[in-house]
Amino acid sequence: MKKILIFFTFAVLALFLVHPVQNGDTWMHLKSGQLMIERMQVLSIDDYSYTIAGKEWLNHQWLSQVIFYFVYKLFGVNGLIFFLAIVIFFAFILLFINTYRRNSWLLSVFLVLLVMLFSLEQFLIRPLIFSLFLFSLFIFILHRYKYVWPPEKEKYLYALIPLQIFWVNLHGAAIMGIFLVWAYIAGEFIDNNIRRNFKNYFYIRKSKYKKLLYVGILVVVSAGLTPYGYRAILFPINELKEMYFLTEWAPALHKDIFLNFGAMPYYRLFLLISICVFIFRINLISSANIIIFGSLLYLSLSGKRHLPLYGFAIAPCISEYLRGIELRKVPLYIKKFFIGALSIALALYLVLLVKDIITGRYYVRKKIESWVGLGKVGYPEKAVDFLLKSGLKGNMFNDFSSGCDLIWGLYPEKKVFIDGRNTIYGSKFIEDNYVGPLIDTFLFERVVDKYNITYVFLNDYVSNNIEKIVPYLYHSENWKLIFFDDMACIFVKNTESNFEIINKYHVDLREKKEVIKLNKFKWQIFYPKGYINRAAFYEKAGLLDMAIDTLRDTLLIAPEAEDGYCNLGILYLKKEMWLDAVEEFKKAIKLNKKSLTAHNNLGAVYIKLGRYKDAIDQFKKVLWLNPLYVEAIYNIRIATRGYKNQKLLYKNTGM
């Protein structure tokens, strides 16, 4: 059973890793790598954007970009996919080696699986993957140095120095290498000189400690060996305030409570286990691991991006410090039965997970346009080709999510307004020239005049950020829609110089677009992101009937798309088709009983129908899943007030 579970765990990992390229940042990294190989110099000045052209760019991940483009040049997009798979796969092999204990192998497998499942969002082709691997390797070397290696193998500790040099040129998280080494240095000093009640028998002392100290000093020195000196290693600290704009830097338990296992259940379970272990086994835990635990706990709670680091560092600690618990009073046959039952349960879970990944059901539930396979997805190829061939001139306004795609497809012919390198733009530029103008059309026109913008490129239709700008552009006489598909739209300024382009390419949205099946095989299902996108654009443009027709057709070919029913219910809600809305929200809840959106909106419809008690029940379900859900808190007050008034009316009228 042990070998079977280990095999299935890594089989699941392999299936998760082999998926189409789907991250926009990848394309900017490829373009940067291409330019550096062609020019034989590190890019340090921005030339991708016309809004900040010439500004210094601290490109701390330049070596990653060169490696990515080298792989792409040799093996294409599919080569990048396999490269990602190899790097992450080996990171998890190191994690498994660090975590594995012969007498508690089931716990080791379970912990590795948990870390894998809450880290999935970070398995993308971007420089972070090098940090995940090197972080795991640093943990491996330091752990072996303290607990395993005999004196003749202690020399391998010096490998941390060249690894740190590579790391600091690969990704901004290289500061974690210095942190890990010095956590061990500080922790061993505390255990040897300060802690009186420490009961662990493993110490780093005398010459072994001096060697660790030397390596720590040399690791700090080596961190300055970059084109930017020590500015590269300090980048995350100096630029942290600029990261607020990115979702992955949002708190892991944002607007939530600790025990809400409906959201991020794997991380919450791992978090609960780790906190319990560090509280109840504190006397056995080395100071180095306490320092690492406290620091990474804070980082994981403060930003989703750091979740894998927390898992890689803490899973071995959990396995190590639970090893001494023997449960002597429990009969041996009960222990064997319990372990056997858990093994079977875990095996069944893995088999079902493999089935869901291969069929695509897992990705549909997560609302991700992905599958087990190769190629690329999400890249607006037709829109990029249109921009190159249409003859459009002048400056472009584009949304944040499309910037890196456009850099790959358009540079140097056309330059972007903004892209994913938010730190180079700065929070003030983003607030004044991007976020504000998207929600205020007056500010938008000021930005248009300021930067002499002649056309607008948008591709994130579902985002609430463009809820105001889409209807403005579509209905304004100053702008005309000249390109539209399920991935991107382009509006051009209605001027005399653009008359020919408008006349040639003007798009009439009233012409119905076809919805076709996405799956090649009956057992496959896909998340219909493109069609969900299309309906979202229609909705924002005020074409509710077109949005409804699109979603109806979509749900015929993708009946597992929960948010399709939610979005259709919201459209019925807007058209005051209350009973139809009820049916759609119920269908969404049938697919996902924990859907906050569906329960909350169903409650809102019940209020409209005067079914206040039913509405209260729905809002209670929302608040049980998330007590801090603001809309439900507000709505339940309205429903409660309506229910009381209704009861009073019935009482007074004798009904």
What is 544-560 written as a DSSP string?
HHHHHHHHHHHHHH-TT
CA dihedral 565, 350, 87, 378 (to 10 degrees): -10
Residues forming beta bridges with residue 476, ordered by sequence position:
none
C-beta of residue 171 within 8 angstroms of C-beta of residue 192 = no
Both tokens of residue 404?
């890196």
Both tokens of residue 92?
């998890």
- Please tell me the predicted confidence (pLDDT) of residue 512: 76
Residues forming beta bridges with residue 83, ordered by sequence position:
none
Question: Secondary structure of 476-520 in the HEC alphabet?
Answer: CCCEEEEEECCCCEEEEECCHHHHHHHHHHCCCCCCCCCCCCCCC
Nearest to 531 by CA among 504, 509, 491, 558: 558
Within the chain, how many helices (H) and strands (E) appear?
29, 4
Q: Where are the domains of the chain?
A: 2-366, 381-505, 578-653
Both tokens of residue 571?
């459209």
C-beta of residue 193 within 8 angstroms of C-beta of residue 173 = no
Residue 207 DSSP class: H
Helix H or strand E encompassing 422: helix 422-425
Report the side by side order of strands in the sheet with 479-484.
Answer: 395-398, 453-458, 489-493, 479-484
Report the sign of the C-alpha dihedral through residues 24, 26, 27, 32, in that order: positive
Q: How far is CA 607 from CA 17, 58, 601, in A?
A: 45, 54, 10
By three-state DSSP, how is residue 32 classified? Answer: helix
- Please tell me the predicted confidence (pLDDT) of residue 114: 95
Tell me the C-alpha distance between 637 and 642, whole Å. 9
Contacts 24+ apart (CB under 8 A), 424-433: 424/46, 424/52, 424/55, 424/57, 424/58, 425/49, 425/51, 425/52, 426/242, 427/241, 427/242, 427/244, 427/245, 429/51, 429/52, 430/245, 433/51
DSSP structure string for 122-187: G-SSSTHHHHHHHHHHHHHHHHHHHHT--GGGGGGGGGHHHHHHHHHHH-GGGHHHHHHHHHHHHH
Residue type, 418: I
Residue 383 DSSP class: H
Both tokens of residue 435?
């976020």
* Diameter of the chain measured on Cα atoms: 93
Both tokens of residue 315?
């899973």
Residue type, 77: V
**Fold identical between 381-505 and 578-653?**
no
C-beta of residue 417 within 8 angstroms of C-beta of residue 403 = yes
Helix H or strand E encompassing 395: strand 395-398
Both tokens of residue 147?
């607990």
Residues of the chain with pLDDT under 50: 258-259, 261
- Please tell me the predicted confidence (pLDDT) of residue 259: 46
Q: What is the pLDDT of residues 600-654, one digit of tens each?
A: 999 999 999 999 999 999 999 998 888 888 899 999 999 999 888 887 777 777 6
Helix H or strand E encompassing 398: strand 395-398
Q: What is the pLDDT of residues 512-558, one digit of tens each?
A: 787 777 666 777 888 999 999 999 999 999 999 999 999 999 999 99
Both tokens of residue 357?
């990944």
Residues forming beta bridges with residue 479, ordered by sequence position:
493
Average pLDDT over the chain reads 90
Both tokens of residue 566?
């939610």
Question: Secondary structure of 210-278 in the HEC alphabet?
Answer: HHHHHHHHHHHHHCCCCCCHHHCCCHHHHCHHHHHHCHHHCCCCCCCCCCCCCCCHHHHHHHHHHHHHH
By three-state DSSP, how is residue 392 classified? Answer: coil
Considering the domain delimited by 578-653, tell me its CATH architecture. Alpha Horseshoe (1.25)
CATH topology assigned to domain 381-505: Rossmann fold (3.40.50)
Tell me the C-alpha distance between 541 and 535, whole Å. 10
Residues forming beta bridges with residue 376, ordered by sequence position:
21
- Please tell me the predicted confidence (pLDDT) of residue 511: 80
